[in-house]
Amino acid sequence: MRDFPDWIRFPVADSVDRAMAWVLTNLGWFFDWVGEVGLQILIAVERTLLFIPWWLAVIGVGVVAWRAIGRVRSGIAMAVLLFMVGAFGYWAHAMNTLSVVIVAVAFSITVGIPLGILMAWNNVVRNMLTPILDAMQTMPSFVYLIPALMLFGLGRVPATFATVIYAIPPVIRLTNVGIREVSTSVIEASTAFGASRWNLLFDVQLPLARPSIMVGVNQTTMMALAMVVIGSMIGNRGLGMEVLLAINRVNIGQGFEAGISIVFLAIIIDRITTAFARAKKAKEASGEEADTDAVEEESTSKASA
């Protein structure tokens, strides 16, 4: 009596299977085409990364990190981390992983920011997207591997696809939040001076939502990096594959090296993107400081006059 009765069954699995089969038979050509284009892009990005001499990449990362973070020490640390990845013998794998991350993040941003804007503009869109985004984030990440596999077969394209699905929610959400949090008084004042919807978007909403959007981009990047490892289960090479192989062979040392390489990549990307997100703010803040001094000067000179 306590068990759920056998005769009550609403099988959804069948319908999902049927829908998938329908998509494959009728839209297969489309996914083949997308897969082909995606593959070419991924290969081009990877070639470009591999074309850069390793020492130039190490120095370049060092300099960029130094400029972005503002400390020579951090620049050197980032360069050393990248150097270590090469020293473990994973340079090529790292570039492969990176190419997938770059393409996935670029795609997430180009789709995610406009979606976030729509969500902020329109409550209906928001109410529709919110549960979908919730689902995307709570679903175990390798569930995405199955449709990716069915649509694009094995390889880096389905891995990129799964990565996008997994990593895109933060940038959408934080774009929406950032725009919605722009103070209504600024919006109202701009409207009163005759700002159109697009004036508002480009003059007011996007610039003021920028810090929030940058946090979204940063989170999306980190999630993409995490997903790339899982993507190796469907045939993406790169660092993830090395980790997977090490696990299969119970090779702790190799697994550690590959794993720590991923961590190093993550640290480098995180530090640099976070620093870029803060860069402008820091500049404005220091400007403000100078300005406040001037205000004080002015007011004291007035008082003494």
Partner 1 sequence: MPPNPTESGIAVRANGIWKVFGRNPERVLEPKFRDLPKNELQRKTGCVVGLRDVNLEVKTGELFVLMGLSGSGKSTMIRTLLRLVEPTAGTLHVDGKDVSAMSHKELLEFRRNLVSMVFQSYGLLPHYTVLENAAYGLRLRGDEKEKREARAMEALNMVGLAGWENYYPTSLSGGMQQRVGLARALAKNPDILLMDEPFSGLDPLIRRQMQDELVDLQSDIGKTIIFVTHDLPEALKLGDRIAIMRDGEVVQVAEPEEILSNPHDEYVRAFTRDASPARVYTASTVMEEPEMLLYRWQGPLTARNEMERQKREWSFVVDRRRTYLGVATRDVIERLAKEKRTTVEKEDLMYLEPVRPDVVIEDLFGVVSSESYPLPVTDDDGKLLGVVRPRAILNALSTGEADA
List residues near partner 1 by CB under 8 A: 183, 185-186, 188-196, 199, 203-204, 207-208, 284, 287-288, 291-292, 294-295
We find the least distance from the C-beta atom of residue 218 to partner 1, in angstroms, to be 20
How many angstroms separate the CA atoms of 110 and 97, rounded?
Answer: 20
Minimum distance, C-beta of residue 291 to partner 1, in the bound complex (Å)? 3
DSSP string, 195-231: --HHHIIIIIIHHHHHHHHHHHHHHHHHHHHHHHHHH
CB of 197 to partner 1, least distance (A): 10
Q: Which residues does 244 contact at the CB level (< 8 Å), separation at least 6?
A: 229, 232, 233
Long-range contacts of 63-67 (CB under 8 A, 24+ apart): 64/272, 65/268, 65/271, 65/272, 65/275
Q: Which of 32/188 has CB closer to partner 1?
A: 188
Q: State the minimum distance, in angstroms, from the CB of residue 234 to partner 1.
A: 44
Token duo for residue 237: 């090479």
Of 206 and 244, which has the nearer Cβ to partner 1?
A: 206
| Shortest distance, position 209 Cβ to partner 1, whole Å | 11
Contact 206, 178 (CB under 8 A): no
What tokens appear for 166 in the block?
């997994």
* Residue nearer to partner 1 on the CB measure, 28 or 287: 287
Burial 214-232 (b: 16+ CB within 10 A, else e): bbbbbbbbbbbbbbbbbbb
**What minimum distance in Å lies between the beta carbon of 193 and partner 1?**
4
Give the C-alpha separation, 113 to 117, whole Å: 6
- For partner 1, which is the closer residue by CB, 124 or 192? 192
CA distance 297 to 292: 9
Looking at the Cβ atoms of 30 and 202, the one nearer to partner 1 is: 202
In a 13 Å sphere around the CA of 301, the CA atoms on its Cβ side amount to 6
CB of 267 to partner 1, least distance (A): 31
Between 8 and 192, whose beta carbon lies closer to partner 1? 192
Read off the tokens for 97: 């992983």
Closer residue to partner 1 (CB): 190 or 274: 190
